[in-house]
Structure 1
Amino acid sequence: MATIVSYTAHPRRLTQALLLVLAAAIGLGAYSLVALGRYEQLPEQLPAVAIGTGVLIVLLQAAVMWRAPYADPVILPIVVLLNLLGITVIESVHAANEIYGIRTSASADRQMLWAIIGVALCIGVLVLLRDHRPLRRYTWISAVVGAVLLLLPLAPVIGDSRNGSKIWINIAGYSFQPAELAKIAFAIFFAGYLVSRRDTLALAGPKVLGIQLPRWSDFGPILVAWGFAMAVLVLQTDLGTSLMFFGLFVAMLYVATDRLSWLVIGAVMFLPPAVFAATQMSHVQTRITCWLDPLSRENFSSCEQIGQGLFGLANGGLFGTGLGEGRPDVVPHAESDFVFTSFAEEMGMVGSFALLLLYLLLVQRALRAAVGISDGFGTLLAGGLGFVLALQVFVVVGGLTRVIPLTGLTLPFLAAGGSSLVCNWIIAGILVRLSDAARRPAARQVPGAAAPPARREAEASA
C-alpha cells in the first residue's frame, strides 16, 4: 500500500507582494521625475496614478494568491515595472512635444487606460484558465483564428496601411494591430500541433553537408508555415511580422525535437524571401540603405528618423540626460517605434542595459517555467511565448542600434499602443499560469502507508 504525500513548497506570495510594491515605487518615482524635469513640479495627477497603480497591484496579488498560488513571484513585478517605465517615457515624449509645439496623439493617460484593460485581461486569464492543458483542445481553432487575424488588415474596408505596411485595422476610429493577438493564437496552435508530432519530426533523414536533415516527408509542416509567412511578407509587405511568426514556429520546432538542424533549415528557408524583399520592395530597400549608411549626405533625408535616433543614443552617453531632460521630440515616433532611443537618451547606457536585463530575466523565467512543466504542451507553449518576447526585443533594439535592419515590431510593454500592451499582458497572464503549473508541488508515494479511501476503492474494483 502507498499513499500520496505532497512535497513541501513555498508559494512565495510575500516575495511577489514586496517586488510589486518595489516595482510600483520605482515606476511612480520615474513618472514624477519626468514632471520635475519638464515642468519643475510634481505632476498634478500623481495621487490618482499612485492610487490606481496600488489598486491594480493589489488585484494582481489577490488573483495570483487565489488562482495561482505557486506561480513565479518575479514575472508580474517585471511586467508592472516595464509598463510603468513605458508610461514614463511616453509622458516624457508627450511633454517635450507640447513644450516645443509638436502635436502628437500618444499620451501617458491613454497608455494608462490600455494598461488597466491589459491588467483586467491578465486577471481574467488567471481566474478563468485554471489549467493550461485544455487549451490543447483548441489547436486547430487557434490556427484558424490566428490566420484570420493575421490576414484581417487585407480586408478592403477596415484594412489600414501605414509606412508601407498593411498590418492595421481601423474600426469606428479605433486602430488595432491583429498580429499582436495572432501571435498568441499561433503559439497555442504550434504547441498543440508539435506536441502530437514531435516523435515523427525528430526522426533522422538524409545527411547533407554534414547536417542531419529530417525525413523529406516531414517537411510539410515547415513548408506550410514558410508559405504563410511569405504570404504575409508579400501581401502585407511586413518583414518584421513574417519573421516573428516563422521564427516562432522554427524555435518551437527545435524545442519539440531538440534538433539543431531545424534552426539551420529555417534560416536557409527565410533567406531567399528576405533577399526578395530587400531587392523588390521599396520601403524595405530604404531600411536596408538606412541600416548600411544612414548618416551620409545622400541618405540623411530619407533616413532622418534612424539618424536622429542614433543622435539621441549618443546624447544619452553613459548615465543619460536624466528623466524629463532629453529631446525625444526631434525623433519621429519617439513614443512607439523609437521608444527605446527615448529611454536610452534619458537613462543612458547604464539604464538601457538595466532595461535589457529586465527583458532577459522575464524571458529566463518563461523558459524556466517551460523546463519545469511536466507535459509537453505546456513546455512548448511557455517556450514559444518566451521566445516571441525575446525575438521582439532583439529585432526592435537591434534595428535601432543598427545591428540589423529596422523592422516594424513594437517593444513589449514599453512602446505606446493598445494592441501591443493588452496582448502582452495576456501573455503575462498565461506565463503566470504556466509557472504555477511548473512550480506546483508534485506528489510522491510513500511505501507502506495506507492509501486514501478513494484510491483503495479504485484498487479493489480493479
Structure 2
Amino acid sequence: MTNVIVELSKYIMIILIAVYTFLCFTVFKNHTEEKKTSIFRRQNGFMFSIHLIAYLVIFLKTGSTRALLLYAAQAVFLIGVIALYSVLYPKASRLITNNMCMLMSVSFIILTRLSFEKSVKQFTIMAAAMAAALVIPFIISRVTFLKKLGWIYAVTGIALLSSVLVAGKVVFGAKLSLTIGGFSIQPSEFVKIIFVFCVASMLYESTEMEQLIKATAIAGLHVLILVVSRDLGGALILFVVYLIMLYVASRRLLYLVGGFSAGCMAAVAAYFLFSHVRVRVLAWSDPWRYIENEGYQITQSLFAIGTGGWFGMGLFQGMPNKIPVVEHDFVFSAISEEMGAFFALCLILICVSCFIMFLNIAMQIREPFSRLVALGLGIAYGFQVFLTIGGVTKFIPSTGVTLPLVSYGGSSVFSTLIMFAIIQGLYILRQNEDGSIDRQKQKRNKKTKQQ
C-alpha cells in the first residue's frame, strides 16, 4: 500500500508544481490587483500541498515522528515568512516571496530525504537568515548613502577573500571556507553581494576611462584572489557579473567582447595551471572513460537523472546517496531521480521566473546605482543556477557551486536570502518612485485646472 501511495504522490506533486510554474509566468500579464492576489494565493496552496504530500511519504517510508515535527516547524516558518512580508512590506513582490518559499520547501523535502540531520541544520540556518533578511528591505528602501561606500565595499570584499586565501580550509582542491567558533563559513558567498555593491557604486559615479580603470583593477583583484584560492566557480561568477555590469553602465560593446575574449584565455590558462581544473575537464569531456576516478561523480549524476526519467522513481525509491556530496553541488540530480525530470524542469523555470523578475526590476528602476545593483544580483543569481545545473547535466564542466536556496550549505542559503531581501527592497524603492511620479503628475494636473 505504501508503494502505491509513493507512486501516486509523485504524479500529484508533478501536476501541482507544473500549475505553480505556469502561474509564475501568467502573473506577468497585465492583470488587475485582485487577479494577481488570487494567483499568488493559489501558488501558496500548491506549494503547501507539495510540502505536505512529500512529508507524508517521508513519514510512511521512515516511520519517523521527528519528520512530522520537522514538517510542522517548516510549515509554520513558511506561513510566517509569507505573512510577515505581507504585513511589513505590502509593496514587496509576492512572486519573489512565493518563489523563495517554494525553493526553500523543495530544499526541505530533498534534504530530509537525503539526511535528516542536515535538513534540520539547513532549516535552522534558514530561520536565522530570514530573521536578519526581513530587516534588509527597510534598509534598502530608506537608506540613501549606500551608493557612497564604494571603497569600503572594495576593502571589505578583498579582506574577506584574502582571509580565506591565508587561513582557509582546502576542500576538493580549493580554499573555500573559514572555521570560526566551530562554524564553517564561506566568505565568497557574501562577497558576491558586496562585490555587486562595490561595482555599482563605482560605475554609477562615472564611466570615464580613469574610473573604469579603477573599477576594473578592483574587480580584477577580487577575481585574482579567488583564482589563487582555486575557487574558480566563484571567480567565474564575479567575472561575468562585472563584465555585464560594465557593459550596461558604459554601453560599449567593445568592453563586452574584450572581456569575453580575456575570459576565454584565462580559462585555458587555468586548465594548465590547476590540476583540479584538468580533472573536472577530463570528467566532463569523457566521464565514462574515467568512471572509476575523475568521472565517478558526473557519471553517477547522469545515471540518477536517466534512471528517474520524466516522472521520477518516487521518494526513497532511488539511490541518490551514491552521488558524492549530493546534498551540495548535485542536489538537482537527486531531485531528478526521485521526483522526475518534469519536476526538475519546473524547478528550473521557477528559477528563471526569479531571474526575469530581477531583471525586470533592474530595467524599471530609474536611479542608476539601484538599477546596477539589481542587475548585478540578478546576473549573479541566474549565472549560478546555470553553472550548477549545467555541471550536473554535463552541459559544462562542474564548477562546484550550489543551487541557490535548494542545495545544502549555510553560507549559500544565508547569502541568497539576503540577495532576495535586497531585491525586495529595490522593488519597494521602484514602487515608491512610481508613486512619487504619480503624485507629481496629480499636482501638475491640479495646478493646470486651477489656472
TM-score class, shorter = 0.7 to 0.9
Q: 1:115 to 1:28 in 2, by over 3 A?
A: farther
Q: 1:259 to 1:300 in 2, by over 3 A?
A: farther
Report 1:425-436 matches (<5 A).
425-436=417-428
Q: Does 1:58 align with 2:51?
A: no
Q: Does 1:117 align with 2:128?
A: yes
Give per-residue Cα distances to partners, 1:28-47, cap 9 Å, x unaligned: 333333343x32x5754425
In structure 2, how many angstroms separate the alpha carbons of the residues matched to 1:123 and 1:431? 12
Equivalent residue number for residue 459 of structure 1: none
Shift of 1:139: 2.0
**Structure with greater Cα Rg:** 1
Q: Does 1:23 align with 2:47?
A: yes
Q: Which amino acid aligns with 2:346?
A: A
Contact 1:132-1:434 at 8 Å conserved across structures: no
Contact 2:402-2:412 at 8 Å conserved across structures: yes
Is 429-438 or 44-53 further displaced after alignment?
Answer: 44-53
Equivalent residue number for residue 386 of structure 1: 378
Contact 1:20-1:57 at 8 Å conserved across structures: no
In structure 2, how many angstroms separate the alpha carbons of the residues matched to 1:190 and 1:76? 27
| Counterpart pick for 2:441 among 438, 442, 445 | 445
Structure 1 residue ranges without an equivalent (≥5): 1-8, 96-105, 202-215, 452-462
Q: Which amino acid aligns with 1:222?
A: T
- Which ranges of 4 or more aligned residues in structure 1 deviate by more than 6 Å? 11-14
| Counterpart pick for 1:232 among 226, 247, 251 | 226
Name the SS for the 2:177 alignment partner: strand
Give per-residue Cα distances to partners, 1:178-213, cap 9 Å, x unaligned: 001111111111111111123x36xxxxxxxxxxxx
Name the SS for the 2:149 alignment partner: helix
Report 1:128-143 matches (<5 A).
128-131=139-142, 133-143=144-154
Contact 1:83-1:413 at 8 Å conserved across structures: yes
Equivalent residue number for residue 278 of structure 1: 271
| Counterpart pick for 2:237 among 220, 235, 244 | 244
Q: Does 1:179 align with 2:188?
A: yes
Shift of 1:18: 5.4
Equivalent residue number for residue 92 of structure 1: 113
Identity %: 29
Shift of 1:220: 5.0
Aligned pairs, number: 411
Q: Which amino acid aligns with 1:71?
A: A
Report 1:58-77 matches (<5 A).
58-66=80-88, 68-77=89-98
In structure 2, how many angstroms separate the alpha carbons of the residues matched to 1:282 and 1:217? 36
Q: Which amino acid aligns with 1:256?
A: A
Shift of 1:262: 2.4
Structure 2 residue ranges without an equivalent (≥5): 1-31
Name the SS for the 2:317 alignment partner: coil
Shift of 1:323: 2.3
Shift of 1:84: 1.2
Q: 1:30 to 1:256 in 2, by over 3 A?
A: farther
Is 49-58 or 336-345 further displaced after alignment?
Answer: 49-58
Q: 1:128 to 1:439 in 2, by over 3 A?
A: closer
Contact 1:32-1:42 at 8 Å conserved across structures: no
Equivalent residue number for residue 166 of structure 1: 175
Q: Which amino acid aligns with 1:151?
A: S
Contact 2:291-2:299 at 8 Å conserved across structures: no
Q: Which amino acid aligns with 1:139?
A: G
Contact 2:377-2:419 at 8 Å conserved across structures: yes
Normalised to the residue count of structure 2, the TM-score between the two structures is: 0.84
Q: Does 1:400 align with 2:422?
A: no
Q: Which amino acid aligns with 2:160?
A: L
Shift of 1:342: 0.6
Shift of 1:282: 1.0
Normalised to the residue count of structure 1, the TM-score between the two structures is: 0.82
- Greater share of residues in helix: 2
Equivalent residue number for residue 6 of structure 2: none
Is 21-30 or 108-117 further displaced after alignment?
Answer: 21-30
Q: 1:52 to 1:348 in 2, by over 3 A?
A: closer
Name the SS for the 2:128 alignment partner: helix
Equivalent residue number for residue 263 of structure 1: 256
In structure 2, how many angstroms separate the alpha carbons of the residues matched to 1:117 and 1:84? 16
Q: Which amino acid aligns with 1:65?
A: V
In structure 2, how many angstroms separate the alpha carbons of the residues matched to 1:408 and 1:55? 29
Equivalent residue number for residue 317 of structure 1: 309
- Greater share of residues in strand: 1
Please give the root-mean-square deviation of Cα atoms over the aligned residues, in Å: 2.4
RCO greater where, 1 or 2, for CA within 8 Å and sep 6 or more?
1
Is 386-395 or 250-259 further displaced after alignment?
Answer: 250-259
Contact 2:301-2:323 at 8 Å conserved across structures: yes
In structure 2, how many angstroms separate the alpha carbons of the residues matched to 1:192 and 1:223? 14
Shift of 1:146: 1.4
Contact 1:398-1:404 at 8 Å conserved across structures: yes
Q: Which amino acid aligns with 2:402?
A: T
Q: 1:218 to 1:116 in 2, by over 3 A?
A: closer
| Counterpart pick for 1:34 among 52, 58, 69 | 58
In structure 1, how many angstroms separate the alpha carbons of the residues matched to 2:144 and 2:363? 16
Q: Which amino acid aligns with 1:137?
A: K
